[in-house]
């Protein structure tokens, strides 16, 4: 099979094809630092430490066939969780945004989990929750504590999902959690947070093989894929590419995820604006379109939108 290797840079200047299907963006971050406190922005790059609200998102995806988007929580300060939910609810209720649903922030390991989650139990616009598991506040094994597991089981009983966003070296913890909660739908964010450079040759002048273990990642992803209640989000990996990259740099990650989970358990996300660390949403969509060009029309449609409807119970 011959693959095109058009070089891309972080500037939005690509002439590659786009998918001929509507897209559901399952990973849309939005924030305005004047309205929501995100402590982690202080150490982030200038493309993140600024207003990235719906207006900026609309400009970034202009021309792409985005049919709808799911807001993804932004790791706001703990005392800002309700404010975040309020802002997203107002945006969705306005009917003026492509945003149609949300994944809110909640820590299943916290004592106030039920107090927070119960407020949204009957709110259909809230499709699920996420707790970032790769921060200093969540050491390895955090998601395997009894309270965390029991509360994730509760999410399944109430029809809510849980997005897993964790360090690649801790994917086995994600497997154990999902295995212990067979009635809860888990979505593994960002292809398990693998760095595509883990697949580069050691002598690659753009960075070569990094400290992540590609073989271990493949094994852990296969284990997660063996659980029918886990889906994989094809997102995030563009944020880690070197300055000059090609779609083929992302191909090993995308194809392993697709082969492990199958075309019926992968969903697409832009990860905007975090994706800007490596490329624009347009570049990501066009690169993924090229990578999946050999897929059947049905499989492509599943990736871009159909699976998201089922996984996140979208109307």
| CATH label of the domain that carries residue 97 | 3.20.20.140
14 located within any domain: no
Let me know if residue 15 belongs to a domain.
no
Which residue range is the domain that position 29 belongs to?
23-311
> What's CA 254's distance to the chain center, in Å?
13
Per-chain mean pLDDT for the chain: 94
In this prediction, residues 49-61 reach a mean pLDDT of 98
The verdict on residue 7 lying in a domain is no
pLDDT per position as a tens digit, 166-181: 999 999 999 999 999 9
Percent of the chain with pLDDT over 70: 94
pLDDT at 11 over 50: no
> For residue 161, is it within any domain?
yes
Higher-scoring residue by pLDDT: 209, 135: 135
Check pLDDT > 60 for residue 6.
no
Name the pLDDT band for 210 (thresholds 50, 70, 90): low
**pLDDT class of 298 with cuts at 50, 70, 90:** very high
Q: Residue 305: helix, strand or coil by DSSP?
A: helix
Q: Is the pLDDT of residue 209 over 70?
A: no
The answer to whether residue 35 scores a pLDDT higher than 50 is yes
> In degrees, to the nearest 5, what angle opens at C-alpha 130 toward C-alphas 129 and 134?
170
**Predicted confidence band of residue 99 (pLDDT cuts 50, 70, 90):** very high
**Could you tell me the two tokens for 141?**
């094994």
**Rounded to 5 degrees, what are φ and ψ at 41?**
-65, -25
Question: Cα–Cα distance between 196 and 214 in angstroms, integer?
Answer: 9
Within a domain: 17: no
pTM comes to 0.94
Domain count, the chain: 1
Question: From residue 249, how far is each of 108, 112, 192, 240, 277 by CA, in Å?
Answer: 35, 43, 16, 11, 16
Give the model's confidence band at 40: pLDDT under 50 very low, under 70 low, under 90 confident, else very high: very high
Query: How many residues does the structure list for the chain?
Result: 315
Residue 272 lies in a domain: yes
Which residues in 46-62 are b (16+ Cβ under 10 Å) and which e? eebeeebbbebbeebbe
Q: Note whether residue 11 is domain-resident.
A: no
102 and 79 in contact (C-beta within 8 Å)?
no
Residue 12: inside a domain = no
Edge-first strand listing for the sheet containing 161-165: 23-28, 66-72, 99-105, 126-132, 161-165, 186-188, 230-234, 266-268
């Amino acid at each position: 099979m011959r693959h095109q290797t058009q070089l891309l840079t972080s500037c939005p200047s690509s002439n590659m094809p786009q998918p001929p299907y509507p897209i559901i963006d399952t990973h849309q971050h939005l924030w305005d630092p004047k309205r929501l406190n995100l402590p982690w922005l202080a150490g982030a790059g200038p493309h993140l430490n600024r207003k990235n609200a719906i207006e900026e998102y609309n400009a970034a995806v202009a021309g792409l066939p985005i049919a709808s988007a799911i807001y993804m929580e932004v790791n706001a300060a703990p005392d800002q969780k309700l404010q975040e939910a309020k802002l997203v609810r107002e945006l969705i209720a306005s009917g003026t945004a492509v945003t149609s649903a949300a994944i809110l922030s909640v820590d299943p390991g916290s004592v106030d989990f039920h107090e927070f989650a119960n407020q949204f139990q009957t709110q259909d616009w809230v499709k699920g929750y996420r707790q970032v598991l790769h921060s200093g506040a969540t050491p390895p094994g955090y998601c395997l504590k009894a309270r965390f597991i029991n509360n994730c089981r509760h999410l399944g009983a109430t029809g809510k999902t849980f997005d897993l966003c964790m360090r690649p070296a801790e994917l086995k913890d994600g497997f154990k959690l999902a295995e212990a909660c067979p009635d809860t739908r888990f979505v593994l964010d960002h292809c398990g947070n693998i760095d595509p450079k883990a697949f580069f040759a050691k002598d690659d002048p753009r960075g070569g093989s990094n400290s992540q273990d590609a073989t271990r990642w493949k094994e852990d992803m296969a284990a997660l894929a063996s659980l029918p209640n886990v889906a994989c989000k094809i997102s995030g990996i563009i944020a880690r590419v070197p300055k000059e990259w090609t779609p083929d740099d992302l191909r090993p990650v995308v194809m392993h995820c697709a082969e492990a989970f199958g075309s019926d358990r992968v969903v697409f996300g832009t990860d905007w604006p975090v994706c800007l660390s490596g490329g624009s949403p347009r570049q990501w969509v066009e690169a993924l379109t090229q990578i999946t060009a050999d897929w059947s029309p049905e499989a492509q449609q599943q990736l871009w939108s159909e699976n998201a409807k089922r996984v996140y119970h979208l109307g």
